[in-house]
Amino acid sequence: SGTGRRKPDWLKMRPPSGRRFTDIKETLRDRDLHTVCEEANCPNMGECWSGRNGPGTATFMLMGDRCSRGCNFCDVETGGMEALDPDEPANVADAVAEIGLDYVVLTSVDRDDLPDQGAGHFAETIREIKDRDPGILVEVLIPDFQGEPRLVRKIVDAGPDVIAHNVETVERLQWPVRDRRAGYEQSLSVLEQVSEESDVYTKTSLMLGLGEYDHEIYQTLSDLREADVDIVTLGQYLQPSRSHLDVFEYVHPDAFETWRRVAEEELGFLYCASGPMVRSSYKAGELFVDAVLR
């Protein structure tokens, strides 16, 4: 990669197929592991998993498929929390090694029901992966841990390469979009703490199309830079079902492109992935390597 002979974008969106794709699926099924890629039927799977232009990326979902919170944009089921699987950290690490992924994204439901809100389990999974191969880049997309610094520190100490935490939307729309326990200031403080206490790269995501004004998007991006956030992604909100929040508007691809330029060129983010189909982990490995390690 890096030869300047990349496929034009309009050729890139292909349905996932091929040997490697089925191999990965089998490994995951054998180990009873869950990826957000598959479960959300993410349209980017073909691009992310193959890593055609660099490291392949997949996103693992830790700590079950039920969340202690209920955000109005999210399809994960609320309540009925189950016990943690103590083998999950090792199991995920083995799968990552077996598949030969170069860049792993770990995320989870929120576990407000656990004494450490799942921070220890997250940290253990990072360590298991790095133990097998310190060269594997690990990005974690973490909950806010109710803004508890000692829990955020547990994640930092485990040595991931990127810590992501999503603000999801502009300040005015935090509620009704997010669960009432989440909040703009709290999320900013998590990101700020990571920037202040470590060299780990920080990252966040916003959904557009929820009724936010342009000046609010700009304000949010500025607040994020103020908190020293390195990477931002912007994508279109899509309604998972009729009982979720309505889409306010479908933002035009040109507007996404404008925001990317504002974020990278004016505000100085290391990179901004921005487009209708972009998700937090969109080609995370490839883009991280391009923007940060090259």
Residues that bind ligand SF4 (CB under 6 A): 36-37, 42, 44-45, 48, 57-59, 67, 69-71, 74, 76, 105, 109-110, 179, 279, 281-282
Give the residue with the Cβ less far from ligand SF4, 109 or 200.
109
Cis peptide leading into 55, omega within 30 of 0?
no
Termini Cα distance of the chain:
11
Give the residue with the Cβ less far from ligand SF4, 109 or 136.
109
Q: What are phi and psi of 88, to 5 degrees?
A: -60, -45
Shortest distance (Å) from residue 259 CB to ligand SF4: 18
DSSP secondary structure code for residue 146 in this structure: G
Give the residue with the Cβ less far from ligand SF4, 263 or 284.
284
Residue written as token pair 């002979």: 5
Mode of pairing for the β-strands spanning 57-62 and 103-108: parallel
Give the residue with the Cβ less far from ligand SF4, 48 or 138.
48
Give the residue with the Cβ less far from ligand SF4, 69 or 130.
69
Shortest distance (Å) from residue 25 CB to ligand SF4: 13
Report the alpha-carbon distance of residue 167 to residue 144 in Å, rounded. 10
Shortest distance (Å) from residue 185 CB to ligand SF4: 17
Which tokens go with 43?
Answer: 């349209």
Shortest distance (Å) from residue 266 CB to ligand SF4: 26
Greatest distance between any 2 Cα atoms in the chain: 51
Pair 224, 215: CB distance under 8 Å: no
Give the residue with the Cβ less far from ligand SF4, 59 or 220.
59
Give the residue with the Cβ less far from ligand SF4, 81 or 267.
81
Shortest distance (Å) from residue 39 CB to ligand SF4: 9
Strand, helix or coil for residue 15 = coil
Amino acid occupying residue 223: D
Pair 86, 34: CB distance under 8 Å: no
Shortest distance (Å) from residue 107 CB to ligand SF4: 8
Shortest distance (Å) from residue 294 CB to ligand SF4: 20
Distances (CA, A) of 287 to 69, 83, 109, 208: 31, 35, 25, 21
Percentages helix, strand, coil for the chain (3-state, rounded to 5) are 40, 15, 45
